[in-house]
Structure 1
Amino acid sequence: MTFGSLTTPPTQPPAPAPVWRSFVRGSLGAGVAVGARAAGALILNKLFAVYAPAGGLTLFAQFQSLMALLTTLPSEGVQVGLVKYLAPLQPGSARYRLWLGAAAALNAAVLLLGGAVLATQGLLGWGWGSLGVFMTGIALLTGQGLIGAALLAAGRLRAYIGLSVALAVLGTGVAATALLRQLPLHIVMLSYLLAQGLTVLLALGLAARAGLLRHLRASGPISFVALRHLSQFLLMAVSTLLFGKAVDYVLRDYLLATYGAARTDLWQVVAKLSDNYTMVFAAVMSSVFYPRLSALAGQPRASRHYLYGVLGLLAPVLAVGLWLIFACRDWLLPLLFAPQQLGARDFLAPQLIGDWAKFLSWVFLFQLKVKARTGTYIAVQGCAALVFAALLAVLLPRFGLEGAVLAHAACYGLQLVACVAFQARMKNGK
């Protein structure tokens, strides 16, 4: 005999949380590190705009671009792949050590190659002593990034955030002190790099405390399988380097030679402002969106649902946020930089429109990294660089310095359209 009032109803599985809620919760978790880096960048931009000689902001940006040329392959290639392959492994295990050793070997090879190119091309235009200091700082910074990737793969988010905060505080503090003491500009920039690089000592301490360095030996074997798999991510980073960072460096060099440092500073103001919020967006996507999308790699339907959910959240939120920046331009630019650079507001609208399209297209491109679709990723980056170069060739002679931001807006607008079309084709194909 069944007593309906005494029977236990079947347990219903809890409804899945909306995509936007989990994404926002994870984004807030990474907010401390992102906020520290953004604050440090804003402070440095202000100090260089006020205390550096005319054109100093652009020269500092060019120095940071040179840093990026040498750290992009490790940070956006080797380290990205390392997070993917270390995440499911037990720290200290034999396979864990093989992956970490392969990543360290690839990073060392990339640094040696970069140093050789720098020495032969003389990109810095400094003496051998300064070049040695520069490469030492790059090597330390790369080592810190490698250990940071291991912390992130192990889920040590609090330690990773602490490391990011230390990087921002130390780099900003040392560079600000050097600027206020009116040291030569190249000393200021090298001090900034070395201060960031010294955070490798903190990284080693955090990794040791987390048990990530157990059983590691400098003479351990190198796994060619691990090298081959990590090299796929390295190839994708090569495309970012050649078709992104290198293009930025060459463009800035051309603008400096054509319009002079003081005039180019106006373009650099909007580019630096863009760099600040781009850094925030990239950090959130790398620490929240990419790991979650990677976890869903074997579930195509859930992966698409998550991607579309994040896109549906980001498109209006980014549009409103970028519009607010434009609406506040008359007081925001003098506040963040210097009053004499208010003329940069004429370049702001195309930059913001292009950034909106860029951010949304990045959401699609993260899929290619998750699926390790190296050829497609390189093709997209290469085509975008060619289109950008063609647009610059047409727009710079006609519009002058403003042509650079118009080309930026048009290029990323076309890239977003191409990404949407490619995504629709993939969906219909399945």
Structure 2
Amino acid sequence: MPTSSPIRQFVRGSLGTGVAVTVRAAGALVINKLFATYAPAGGLTLLAQFQNLMALLTTLPNDGVHVGLVKYLAPLQPGSPRYRAWLGAALTLNAAALVVGGAVLAGRGLLDWGWGYTVAFLAGIALLLGQGLLGAALLAAGRLRAYLGLSATLAVLGTSAVAAALLGHRSPPEALLAYLLAQGLTLAPALGLAARAGLLRGVRLAAPVSRLALRRLGQFLLMAVSTLVFGKAVDYVLRDYLLATFGPARTDLWQAVAKLSDNYTMVFGAVMSSVFYPRLAALAGQPAARNYLLGVLKLLAPGLAAGLGLIFVCRDWLLPLLFAPRLLAAREFLGAQLLGDWAKFISWLFIFQLTARARTGPYVAVQAASAAVFAGLLALLLPRFGLQGAVLAHAARYGLLLLACVGAQLRMRNEE
């Protein structure tokens, strides 16, 4: 198959998926704007810390269990014994992740707003995990339109809840809880869509759990664990340190560029996961895989550079527009952030090869090494450059990772 054909497929698929994901990104931008405008100083950082805390409890199910569930459910007939076994195993693993996460939450005091708030928070997470599990079943059944509809509904409900709470003069913690619980309400339409598609036939909550299904799905948790430990947890600790060291108002400047990055990263990551990765996985082990990778790389490297460069050029009106006028000073951090993001996105193309080939060990090693380098860079640069050191460390981290990826790719080519 000519290289141009899969590249054209990549472009078409990216446009279709990108439109759907952009709806979610728009909702996230509105929430950022609301917190930057109506919450007290430090509100934007509080939002990011809350979302990071949500990610700490949902990463293992979403990036591990549900990814494996799509793989194993896809070839099965809904309602069959094996189909029900995979659903039961996924539900069990999700429940275990929630119990462990709740124990850590209570033991470490990560939420200091009282037990009632903590219980409501965990209830919201449980609803969100249920919606995610049903969403994975819809994806496995090829119900992409229903899945995208759920994603859009989740974004609309979360944004509406934050707007109602903040404009109604509720406190930021109350607005955050409303944001989570409103997203959790998408479990109801998810149940309806799954039932209409016949995906819940014969499902019983008290059914025996398949050990084989547990073991197979558990394997997908390994990569998700590395993402959690070396990604989300590092981000949480860094934000906590910056808050304690530089204060809420100053940290909000760094957080503004980080939140801007999160939004376009979400769009890029979703497109890569749904369009680029499946095709790369299908070609794994074939010479065409490298041609496909290089073709997408040639397309994205200049395209991403142009897009991120445009953001930099428009920074003086973009930051006040998306956040608040007081956060215009965040422009001093934007250049290094954008440079690091470009290197991060390009390095992801190479790292996807490890996932496509199920190279769990090397994948975890790359994540661990990257996090260790980042920690060392932060320790070196924060004392010398202050808050600017955080974005400089980000740029240096992914610049070094990209160089390592290119070097590894060249070695692989020479060995063949």
For residues 256-277 of structure 1, give each alpha carbon's deviation from its aligned partner in whole angstroms, at most 9, with x where no partner exists: 0000000100000000000010
| 1:317 alignment partner in structure 2 | 303
- Aligned match for 1:128, one of 115, 122, 125: 115
Number of matched residues?
416
* 2:146/2:193 contact within 8 Å kept: yes
Higher CA-based Rg = 1
Shift in Å at residue 427 of structure 1? 3.6
The 5-angstrom pairing of residues 177-326 of structure 1 reads: 177-297=164-284, 299-326=285-312
Residue correspondence of structure 1 range 273-422 to structure 2 within 5 A: 273-297=260-284, 299-422=285-408
Paired with 1:110 and 1:289, the residues of 2 have a C-alpha distance of 29
The answer as to whether partners of 2:36 and 2:44 remain within 8 angstroms in 1 is yes
Distance of aligned partners of 1:220 and 1:427 in 2 relative to their CA distance in 1, 3 Å threshold: farther
CA RMSD of aligned residues (A): 1.5
Return the alpha-carbon distance in structure 1 between the equivalents of residues 2 and 353 of structure 2.
26
Deviation at 1:63, TM superposition (A): 0.6
Partner of 1:88: 75
Counterparts of 1:133-212 in structure 2 under 5 Å?
A: 133-212=120-199
Q: Structure 1 residues 86, 301: closer, same or farther in 2, change over 3 A?
A: farther
Cα deviation per residue 1:191-238 (whole Å; 9 max; x = unaligned)?
000000110111111111122212222222322222222222201111
Change in Cα spacing, 1:95 to 1:306, as seen in structure 2 (3 Å) is: farther
Report the secondary structure of 1:126's partner residue: coil
What's the offset of the Cα at 1:291? Answer: 2.3
Contact 1:32 1:161 in 2 (8 A): no
Are 1:232 and 1:372, in contact at CA under 8 Å, matched by a contact in 2?
A: no
Q: Whole-Å Cα distance in 1 between the matches of residues 4 and 199 of structure 2?
A: 32
1:423 and 2:409 are equivalent in the alignment: yes
Work out whether residues 3 and 292 of structure 2, in 8 Å CA contact, stay in contact via their aligned partners in 1: no
Question: Would you say the 8 A contact 2:49–2:236 is kept in 1?
Answer: yes
Aligned twin of 1:9: none
Cα-to-partner distance string for 1:336-355 (whole Å, 9 max, x where unaligned) = 11111111000001100100
What's the secondary structure of 1:30's corresponding residue? helix
Q: CA separation in 2, counterparts of 1:16 and 1:88?
A: 28
SS state of the match for residue 110, structure 2? coil
Residue type at the aligned position of 1:92: G
Q: Report the residue type matching 2:6 in the other structure.
A: V
Choose the corresponding residue for 1:35, options 3, 17, 22. 22
How far residue 17 of structure 1 moved from its aligned partner, in angstroms, is 5.3
Residues in 2 aligned to 1:215 and 1:426: alpha-carbon distance in whole angstroms: 49
* Pair 428,93 (structure 1): closer, same or farther in 2 beyond 3 Å: farther
Q: Percent identity?
A: 72
Q: Distance in 2 between matches of 1:86 and 1:422?
A: 34
Please identify runs of 4+ aligned residues in structure 1 that moved more than 6 A: none
User: Displacement, 1:156?
Assistant: 1.0
How does the TM-score come out when normalised to structure 2? 0.97
1:223 and 1:376 map into 2 onto residues whose CA distance is 29
Structure 2 residues not aligned, in runs of 5+: none
Q: Which runs of 5+ in 1 are unaligned?
A: 1-13
Q: Which amino acid aligns with 1:301?
A: P
Structure 1: distance between partners of 2:414 and 2:80: 43
- Counterpart secondary structure, 1:92: coil
Deviation for aligned residue 1:288: 1.4
Once residues 17 and 403 of structure 1 are traced to their aligned partners in structure 2, the CA distance between those partners, rounded to angstroms, is 42
One-letter code of the match for 2:369?
C
- The 8 Å contact of residues 3 and 291 in structure 2, kept in 1 or not, is answered as no
Q: Is the 8 A contact 2:45 2:252 kept in 1?
A: yes
Counterpart AA for 1:362: W
2: distance between equivalents of 1:426 and 1:135? 46
